[in-house]
Amino acid sequence: MSAATPTAVVFGEALVDEFPTEQVVGGAPFNVARHLAAFMAPALMISRIGRDRNGAAVRAEFERFAMRDCGLQTDPMEETGRVVVERNGQGHSFHILPRQAYDFIDPDAAAAGVADVDAGIVYFGTLAQREPGSRAALQAVLAATSAKRYLDLNLRNGQYEEGTVTRSLEAADIVKVNEEELQALFQWYFQIGPSEAPLSTEEVHAACRALMDRFGLETLIVTLGHRGSVVFLQDGGLIANRDNPAPPFVIDTVGAGDAFSAIFLLGRMRGWPLELTLARANEFAGAICAVAGAVPRDLNFYDKWVTRWRETTPAMPGAFTSR
Protein backbone atom coordinates (compact mmCIF):
# COMPACT_ATOMS: atom_id res chain seq x y z
CA MET A 1 0.00 0.00 0.00
CA SER A 2 1.37 3.38 -0.97
CA ALA A 3 1.65 6.00 1.75
CA ALA A 4 -0.08 8.36 -0.69
CA THR A 5 -3.27 6.29 -0.76
CA PRO A 6 -6.14 8.63 0.18
CA THR A 7 -8.18 7.84 3.28
CA ALA A 8 -11.78 6.63 3.25
CA VAL A 9 -13.75 8.65 5.80
CA VAL A 10 -16.61 6.51 7.15
CA PHE A 11 -19.31 8.46 8.99
CA GLY A 12 -22.12 6.97 11.05
CA GLU A 13 -23.25 4.54 13.66
CA ALA A 14 -21.11 2.21 15.71
CA LEU A 15 -23.38 0.07 17.87
CA VAL A 16 -24.02 -3.32 19.41
CA ASP A 17 -26.48 -5.80 17.92
CA GLU A 18 -28.11 -7.72 20.74
CA PHE A 19 -29.08 -11.21 19.58
CA PRO A 20 -30.93 -13.64 21.86
CA THR A 21 -27.69 -15.50 22.62
CA GLU A 22 -24.91 -12.96 22.07
CA GLN A 23 -23.90 -9.37 21.48
CA VAL A 24 -22.07 -8.36 18.31
CA VAL A 25 -20.51 -4.99 17.52
CA GLY A 26 -21.96 -3.63 14.29
CA GLY A 27 -23.60 -0.80 12.42
CA ALA A 28 -23.33 -0.56 8.64
CA PRO A 29 -20.64 2.17 8.61
CA PHE A 30 -18.62 0.37 11.25
CA ASN A 31 -18.80 -2.87 9.26
CA VAL A 32 -17.48 -1.04 6.20
CA ALA A 33 -14.63 0.55 8.18
CA ARG A 34 -13.66 -2.81 9.71
CA HIS A 35 -13.50 -4.50 6.32
CA LEU A 36 -11.30 -1.71 4.95
CA ALA A 37 -9.03 -1.91 7.99
CA ALA A 38 -8.73 -5.68 7.60
CA PHE A 39 -7.45 -5.14 4.06
CA MET A 40 -5.00 -2.51 5.38
CA ALA A 41 -6.74 0.33 3.55
CA PRO A 42 -6.51 3.72 5.30
CA ALA A 43 -9.86 4.54 6.87
CA LEU A 44 -11.11 7.03 9.44
CA MET A 45 -14.30 6.06 11.27
CA ILE A 46 -16.24 9.00 12.69
CA SER A 47 -18.81 7.94 15.29
CA ARG A 48 -19.74 8.36 18.97
CA ILE A 49 -20.10 5.84 21.78
CA GLY A 50 -20.95 5.99 25.48
CA ARG A 51 -18.94 5.41 28.62
CA ASP A 52 -20.35 1.92 29.11
CA ARG A 53 -19.67 -1.76 28.55
CA ASN A 54 -20.92 -1.63 24.96
CA GLY A 55 -18.64 1.29 24.26
CA ALA A 56 -15.73 -0.76 25.57
CA ALA A 57 -16.75 -3.54 23.16
CA VAL A 58 -16.65 -1.10 20.25
CA ARG A 59 -13.19 0.11 21.29
CA ALA A 60 -12.02 -3.50 21.53
CA GLU A 61 -13.03 -4.01 17.90
CA PHE A 62 -11.06 -0.91 16.95
CA GLU A 63 -8.03 -2.49 18.59
CA ARG A 64 -8.62 -5.93 17.07
CA PHE A 65 -8.72 -4.51 13.55
CA ALA A 66 -5.96 -1.93 14.21
CA MET A 67 -8.33 0.91 13.36
CA ARG A 68 -7.35 4.49 14.16
CA ASP A 69 -9.61 5.80 16.91
CA CYS A 70 -9.09 9.57 16.57
CA GLY A 71 -12.57 9.90 15.03
CA LEU A 72 -14.30 7.89 17.76
CA GLN A 73 -15.96 10.31 20.18
CA THR A 74 -17.14 9.47 23.69
CA ASP A 75 -20.42 10.86 24.99
CA PRO A 76 -20.53 11.55 28.74
CA MET A 77 -24.27 10.93 29.03
CA GLU A 78 -25.80 8.94 26.16
CA GLU A 79 -25.44 5.17 25.81
CA THR A 80 -23.61 3.36 23.05
CA GLY A 81 -25.98 2.46 20.25
CA ARG A 82 -28.00 -0.73 20.60
CA VAL A 83 -30.14 -2.75 18.21
CA VAL A 84 -32.26 -5.59 19.58
CA VAL A 85 -32.35 -8.40 17.02
CA GLU A 86 -35.05 -11.07 17.08
CA ARG A 87 -35.11 -14.12 14.87
CA ASN A 88 -38.41 -15.08 13.26
CA GLY A 89 -39.67 -17.28 10.46
CA GLN A 90 -38.70 -14.70 7.83
CA GLY A 91 -35.19 -14.11 9.17
CA HIS A 92 -34.50 -11.25 11.59
CA SER A 93 -36.40 -8.27 12.91
CA PHE A 94 -34.54 -5.24 14.24
CA HIS A 95 -35.57 -2.85 17.02
CA ILE A 96 -33.34 0.22 16.73
CA LEU A 97 -33.33 2.18 19.98
CA PRO A 98 -33.75 5.98 19.97
CA ARG A 99 -31.37 8.65 21.26
CA GLN A 100 -28.10 6.78 21.20
CA ALA A 101 -24.60 8.18 21.38
CA TYR A 102 -24.17 8.07 17.59
CA ASP A 103 -27.10 10.52 17.32
CA PHE A 104 -24.94 13.21 18.98
CA ILE A 105 -21.68 13.22 16.98
CA ASP A 106 -19.96 16.55 17.61
CA PRO A 107 -19.65 18.59 14.38
CA ASP A 108 -16.47 20.46 15.29
CA ALA A 109 -14.58 17.34 16.36
CA ALA A 110 -15.80 15.47 13.25
CA ALA A 111 -14.63 18.22 10.91
CA ALA A 112 -11.29 18.45 12.71
CA GLY A 113 -10.76 14.73 12.22
CA VAL A 114 -11.32 15.01 8.49
CA ALA A 115 -8.96 17.97 8.26
CA ASP A 116 -6.14 15.77 9.59
CA VAL A 117 -6.31 13.20 6.76
CA ASP A 118 -6.06 13.17 2.99
CA ALA A 119 -9.67 12.16 2.37
CA GLY A 120 -10.35 10.41 -0.92
CA ILE A 121 -13.99 9.50 -0.34
CA VAL A 122 -16.64 9.95 2.36
CA TYR A 123 -19.05 7.11 3.10
CA PHE A 124 -22.35 7.89 4.84
CA GLY A 125 -25.88 6.55 5.24
CA THR A 126 -29.21 7.70 6.66
CA LEU A 127 -29.55 6.13 10.12
CA ALA A 128 -27.00 8.45 11.75
CA GLN A 129 -28.91 11.42 10.33
CA ARG A 130 -32.12 10.82 12.26
CA GLU A 131 -31.24 13.47 14.91
CA PRO A 132 -30.16 17.11 14.30
CA GLY A 133 -26.80 16.76 16.07
CA SER A 134 -25.35 14.08 13.85
CA ARG A 135 -26.98 15.59 10.75
CA ALA A 136 -25.01 18.74 11.50
CA ALA A 137 -21.86 16.69 12.05
CA LEU A 138 -22.22 15.06 8.64
CA GLN A 139 -22.67 18.44 7.01
CA ALA A 140 -19.52 19.63 8.79
CA VAL A 141 -17.60 16.61 7.49
CA LEU A 142 -18.79 17.16 3.92
CA ALA A 143 -17.93 20.86 4.13
CA ALA A 144 -14.43 20.05 5.36
CA THR A 145 -13.39 18.08 2.28
CA SER A 146 -13.86 18.01 -1.48
CA ALA A 147 -13.61 14.21 -1.51
CA LYS A 148 -16.12 12.13 -3.45
CA ARG A 149 -19.24 11.23 -1.50
CA TYR A 150 -20.61 7.67 -1.35
CA LEU A 151 -24.15 7.28 -0.04
CA ASP A 152 -25.24 3.81 1.06
CA LEU A 153 -28.92 4.59 1.49
CA ASN A 154 -29.61 1.76 3.98
CA LEU A 155 -33.23 2.67 4.73
CA ARG A 156 -34.40 1.33 8.09
CA ASN A 157 -38.13 1.30 8.88
CA GLY A 158 -39.13 4.29 10.97
CA GLN A 159 -35.59 5.67 11.11
CA TYR A 160 -35.57 8.24 8.29
CA GLU A 161 -37.54 11.05 6.73
CA GLU A 162 -37.96 11.68 3.03
CA GLY A 163 -36.30 15.06 3.46
CA THR A 164 -33.18 13.40 4.85
CA VAL A 165 -33.10 11.04 1.88
CA THR A 166 -33.46 13.95 -0.54
CA ARG A 167 -30.68 15.95 1.08
CA SER A 168 -28.44 12.89 1.10
CA LEU A 169 -29.01 12.26 -2.59
CA GLU A 170 -28.31 15.90 -3.35
CA ALA A 171 -25.00 15.67 -1.47
CA ALA A 172 -23.85 12.37 -2.99
CA ASP A 173 -21.69 11.59 -6.02
CA ILE A 174 -22.07 7.80 -5.83
CA VAL A 175 -25.24 6.13 -4.52
CA LYS A 176 -25.77 2.48 -3.67
CA VAL A 177 -29.28 1.07 -3.25
CA ASN A 178 -30.91 -2.34 -3.21
CA GLU A 179 -34.00 -3.17 -5.25
CA GLU A 180 -36.47 -2.27 -2.48
CA GLU A 181 -34.80 1.07 -1.88
CA LEU A 182 -34.74 1.82 -5.60
CA GLN A 183 -38.49 1.16 -5.78
CA ALA A 184 -39.05 3.55 -2.86
CA LEU A 185 -37.11 6.27 -4.71
CA PHE A 186 -39.12 5.68 -7.88
CA GLN A 187 -42.34 6.06 -5.91
CA TRP A 188 -41.26 9.20 -4.03
CA TYR A 189 -39.77 11.13 -6.92
CA PHE A 190 -41.56 9.84 -10.01
CA GLN A 191 -44.80 8.38 -8.58
CA ILE A 192 -43.90 4.99 -10.02
CA GLY A 193 -45.55 2.58 -7.62
CA PRO A 194 -46.30 -1.15 -7.52
CA SER A 195 -48.64 -2.30 -10.25
CA GLU A 196 -49.94 -5.51 -11.73
CA ALA A 197 -47.55 -5.16 -14.65
CA PRO A 198 -43.93 -4.83 -13.48
CA LEU A 199 -41.71 -2.31 -15.20
CA SER A 200 -39.76 -3.54 -18.18
CA THR A 201 -35.98 -3.53 -18.07
CA GLU A 202 -35.97 -0.50 -20.37
CA GLU A 203 -38.39 1.37 -18.08
CA VAL A 204 -36.30 0.62 -15.01
CA HIS A 205 -33.17 1.83 -16.76
CA ALA A 206 -34.92 5.00 -17.89
CA ALA A 207 -36.11 5.69 -14.33
CA CYS A 208 -32.57 5.14 -13.00
CA ARG A 209 -31.23 7.63 -15.54
CA ALA A 210 -33.91 10.13 -14.52
CA LEU A 211 -32.92 9.67 -10.88
CA MET A 212 -29.28 10.33 -11.72
CA ASP A 213 -30.20 13.44 -13.69
CA ARG A 214 -32.43 14.77 -10.92
CA PHE A 215 -29.69 14.57 -8.31
CA GLY A 216 -26.61 15.04 -10.50
CA LEU A 217 -25.18 11.63 -9.62
CA GLU A 218 -21.91 10.38 -11.01
CA THR A 219 -22.67 6.70 -10.37
CA LEU A 220 -25.75 4.73 -9.31
CA ILE A 221 -25.19 1.20 -8.00
CA VAL A 222 -28.13 -1.20 -7.73
CA THR A 223 -27.38 -4.41 -5.84
CA LEU A 224 -29.47 -7.45 -6.73
CA GLY A 225 -28.57 -9.93 -4.02
CA HIS A 226 -27.37 -13.25 -5.41
CA ARG A 227 -28.10 -11.93 -8.94
CA GLY A 228 -25.18 -9.49 -8.82
CA SER A 229 -25.31 -5.75 -9.41
CA VAL A 230 -25.87 -3.11 -12.07
CA VAL A 231 -24.00 0.19 -12.22
CA PHE A 232 -25.21 3.23 -14.15
CA LEU A 233 -22.56 5.77 -15.13
CA GLN A 234 -22.84 9.50 -15.75
CA ASP A 235 -21.72 9.15 -19.38
CA GLY A 236 -24.63 6.81 -20.14
CA GLY A 237 -22.64 3.63 -19.68
CA LEU A 238 -23.99 0.60 -17.87
CA ILE A 239 -22.07 -2.27 -16.33
CA ALA A 240 -23.90 -5.40 -15.19
CA ASN A 241 -22.13 -8.03 -13.13
CA ARG A 242 -24.23 -11.17 -13.04
CA ASP A 243 -21.71 -14.02 -13.35
CA ASN A 244 -21.03 -14.52 -9.66
CA PRO A 245 -20.11 -17.83 -8.03
CA ALA A 246 -22.73 -18.74 -5.45
CA PRO A 247 -21.53 -19.16 -1.85
CA PRO A 248 -21.33 -22.81 -0.80
CA PHE A 249 -24.16 -22.18 1.68
CA VAL A 250 -25.94 -19.22 3.26
CA ILE A 251 -26.09 -18.75 7.02
CA ASP A 252 -27.58 -15.25 6.88
CA THR A 253 -27.43 -12.16 4.68
CA VAL A 254 -26.57 -9.74 7.52
CA GLY A 255 -23.87 -7.34 6.38
CA ALA A 256 -23.79 -8.40 2.72
CA GLY A 257 -24.49 -4.87 1.52
CA ASP A 258 -21.82 -3.47 3.83
CA ALA A 259 -19.32 -5.98 2.45
CA PHE A 260 -20.19 -4.90 -1.10
CA SER A 261 -19.65 -1.23 -0.22
CA ALA A 262 -16.33 -1.94 1.47
CA ILE A 263 -14.90 -3.74 -1.55
CA PHE A 264 -16.28 -1.13 -3.93
CA LEU A 265 -14.46 1.55 -1.91
CA LEU A 266 -11.34 -0.62 -1.69
CA GLY A 267 -11.33 -1.03 -5.46
CA ARG A 268 -11.48 2.74 -5.96
CA MET A 269 -8.69 3.27 -3.46
CA ARG A 270 -6.49 0.62 -5.07
CA GLY A 271 -7.20 1.63 -8.67
CA TRP A 272 -8.94 -1.57 -9.77
CA PRO A 273 -10.91 -1.46 -13.04
CA LEU A 274 -14.61 -0.96 -12.33
CA GLU A 275 -15.64 -4.31 -13.81
CA LEU A 276 -13.13 -6.11 -11.60
CA THR A 277 -14.21 -4.10 -8.55
CA LEU A 278 -17.84 -5.09 -9.07
CA ALA A 279 -17.00 -8.75 -9.55
CA ARG A 280 -14.96 -8.79 -6.35
CA ALA A 281 -17.55 -6.80 -4.39
CA ASN A 282 -20.31 -9.21 -5.38
CA GLU A 283 -18.22 -12.28 -4.65
CA PHE A 284 -17.06 -10.97 -1.27
CA ALA A 285 -20.63 -10.04 -0.30
CA GLY A 286 -21.70 -13.57 -1.16
CA ALA A 287 -18.92 -14.98 0.99
CA ILE A 288 -20.10 -12.91 3.97
CA CYS A 289 -23.47 -14.66 3.64
CA ALA A 290 -21.67 -17.92 4.40
CA VAL A 291 -20.44 -16.72 7.81
CA ALA A 292 -22.49 -15.86 10.87
CA GLY A 293 -23.00 -12.12 11.20
CA ALA A 294 -21.70 -9.17 9.23
CA VAL A 295 -17.96 -9.59 9.87
CA PRO A 296 -15.96 -12.85 10.14
CA ARG A 297 -14.50 -13.55 13.55
CA ASP A 298 -11.38 -15.16 12.06
CA LEU A 299 -9.14 -12.50 10.51
CA ASN A 300 -7.50 -15.19 8.37
CA PHE A 301 -10.67 -14.91 6.28
CA TYR A 302 -9.23 -11.73 4.73
CA ASP A 303 -5.83 -13.25 3.99
CA LYS A 304 -7.55 -15.91 1.89
CA TRP A 305 -9.14 -13.20 -0.24
CA VAL A 306 -5.86 -11.35 -0.63
CA THR A 307 -4.24 -14.57 -1.85
CA ARG A 308 -7.13 -15.25 -4.22
CA TRP A 309 -6.96 -11.77 -5.74
CA ARG A 310 -3.18 -11.82 -6.00
CA GLU A 311 -3.33 -15.09 -7.92
CA THR A 312 -5.97 -13.87 -10.35
CA THR A 313 -4.30 -10.52 -11.22
CA PRO A 314 -0.70 -10.70 -9.98
CA ALA A 315 0.54 -7.75 -12.05
CA MET A 316 -1.78 -5.16 -10.52
CA PRO A 317 0.35 -2.86 -8.32
CA GLY A 318 -0.77 -1.93 -4.85
CA ALA A 319 -3.85 -4.12 -4.95
CA PHE A 320 -3.04 -6.95 -2.61
CA THR A 321 -1.71 -5.63 0.66
CA SER A 322 -2.75 -7.87 3.55
CA ARG A 323 -2.58 -7.68 7.29
pTM of the model: 0.92
* Contact (CB, 8 A) for 281 and 264: yes
Per-residue pLDDT tens digits of the chain, which is 323 residues long: 445 789 999 999 999 988 888 888 999 999 999 999 999 999 999 999 999 999 999 999 999 999 999 999 999 999 999 999 777 666 667 899 999 999 999 999 999 999 999 999 999 999 999 999 999 999 999 999 999 999 999 999 899 999 999 999 999 999 999 999 999 999 999 998 776 567 889 999 999 999 999 999 999 999 998 888 999 999 999 999 876 666 666 666 677 899 999 999 999 999 999 999 999 999 999 888 777 666 888 888 999 999 989 887 755 545 444 44
Strands of 172-269 (E only): list them. Answer: 174-178, 219-223, 229-233, 238-241
Backbone angles phi, psi at 61, to 5 degrees: -70, -35
Report the 10 Å Cβ neighbour count for 162: 11
Domain range annotation of the chain: 7-312
Quick one: CATH architecture of 7-312? 3-Layer(aba) Sandwich (3.40)
